[in-house]
């Protein structure tokens, strides 16, 4: 049985989250707390397996509490955040501090709207209970890479991730030099959060990172992040590569879907592509990575030891879709090696 402590200053939210979670046969909400001070006492008393943590609370906000928790008693935390620009910024900070994942709390009609997140919340609690949590004292300060690629190349890099992916992508992207070939990224994230995530990546990286709008020409030194409400694909027109957004149905329950991105890269770019599948819940991206391999692309996946959740890369490994299985801290360095030794049709 997974023991959960719900921390939220709203009595209604505490009640709703408790009822939702207690409906799962393997989850038990052992206590609720209205503020971090009460939560601290209950953690010592009940030793929960997972916390749900509201960001905005009286006495001490969720970020301050999370920072102290991860320093003194690291444990799996699911953040409960609002779908706003401010909520996005704070949630991304929470993920940097070690929170496993988050669910979005609506600003109105809580009773009906929050229930829509029931299955998602239960799934994330189960994943959090099995996740790898490490002690941290503050969000890591990452300096952009100073390296420079020695060869021109016509490669394109495609990256996919889900749970734990915001930090994993940042750790890869920020170690790449300014003349890195074009990068396309699909991260499972709400529409209200994707622009903030792109800006956060851009502020740390030597390359430019933007939220794709569709129709951009793929350029060296730029990464294109799929918006949180559309699929991102790559298409070729007149000898050039462009981004394109699709408003079609979710794939593997996700929009954007990593499979959709990887399949487009496999068909459009093939052997000139490098696929990277990072930490995440589920199987999205595994089949697309295999397709990319069949079309001659070269694939890296994050290993189990460094993944918050080894669902997506694990599913790819079961299909033997990867060429290499690497620790997160080794991926950017290996990518630079591959790019520096890649044969290219680009003339110097």
Of the residues 18, 81, 104, 162, only one is catalytic, namely 162
Nearest to 94 by CA among 73, 82, 72, 77: 77
Nearest to 335 by CA among 295, 278, 294, 290: 278
* Residue 291 and residue 269 in contact, taking contact as beta carbons nearer than 8 Å: no
Catalytic status, residue 284:
yes
Dist CA 201 CA 334 (whole Å)? 20
Of the residues 81, 188, 303, 332, only one is catalytic, namely 188
Of the residues 8, 259, 284, 303, only one is catalytic, namely 284
Strand-by-strand arrangement of the 27-33 sheet:
27-33, 2-7, 50-54, 77-82, 101-105
Dist CA 257 CA 182 (whole Å)? 19
DSSP class per residue in 55-97: SS-SSS-HHHHHHHHHHHS---EEEEEESSHHHHHHHHHHHHH
Catalytic status, residue 162:
yes
Catalytic status, residue 257:
no
Longest dimension (CA), the chain: 67
DSSP class per residue in 309-328: -BSHHHHHHHTT--SEEE-H
Residues with catalytic function: 162, 188, 284
């Amino acid at each position: 049985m997974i023991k959960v402590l719900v921390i939220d200053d709203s009595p209604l939210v505490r009640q709703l989250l408790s009822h939702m979670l207690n409906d799962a046969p393997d989850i038990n909400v052992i206590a609720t707390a209205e503020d971090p001070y009460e939560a601290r006492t209950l953690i010592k008393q009940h030793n929960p397996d997972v916390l749900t943590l509201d960001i905005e609370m009286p006495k001490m906000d969720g970020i301050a509490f999370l920072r102290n928790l991860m320093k003194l008693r690291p444990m799996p935390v699911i953040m409960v955040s609002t779908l706003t620009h401010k909520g996005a910024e704070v949630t991304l900070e929470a993920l940097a501090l070690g929170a496993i994942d988050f669910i979005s709390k609506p600003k109105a009609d809580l009773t009906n709207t929050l229930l829509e997140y029931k299955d998602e919340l239960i799934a994330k609690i189960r994943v959090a209970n099995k996740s790898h949590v490490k002690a941290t004292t503050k969000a890591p300060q990452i300096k952009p890479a100073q390296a420079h690629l020695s060869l021109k190349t016509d490669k394109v890099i495609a990256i996919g991730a889900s749970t734990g992916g915001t930090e994993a992508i940042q750790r890869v992207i920020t170690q790449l030099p300014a003349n890195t070939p074009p990068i396309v990224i699909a991260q499972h994230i709400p529409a209200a959060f994707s622009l903030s995530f792109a800006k956060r990546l851009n502020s740390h990286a030597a390359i430019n990172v933007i939220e794709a709008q569709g129709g951009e020409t793929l350029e060296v030194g730029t990464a294109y992040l799929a918006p949180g409400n559309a699929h991102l694909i790559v298409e070729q027109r007149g000898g050039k590569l462009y981004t394109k957004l699709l408003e079609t149905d979710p794939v593997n329950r996700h929009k954007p879907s990593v499979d959709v991105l990887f399949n487009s890269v496999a068909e459009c770019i093939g052997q000139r592509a490098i696929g990277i599948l990072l930490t995440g819940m589920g199987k999205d991206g595994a089949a697309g990575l295999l397709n990319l391999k069949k079309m001659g692309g070269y694939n890296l996946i994050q290993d189990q030891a460094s993944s918050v959740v080894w669902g997506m890369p694990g599913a790819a490994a079961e299909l033997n879709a990867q060429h290499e299985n690497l620790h997160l801290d080794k991926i950017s360095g290996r990518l630079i090696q591959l790019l520096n030794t890649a044969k290219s049709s680009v003339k110097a």
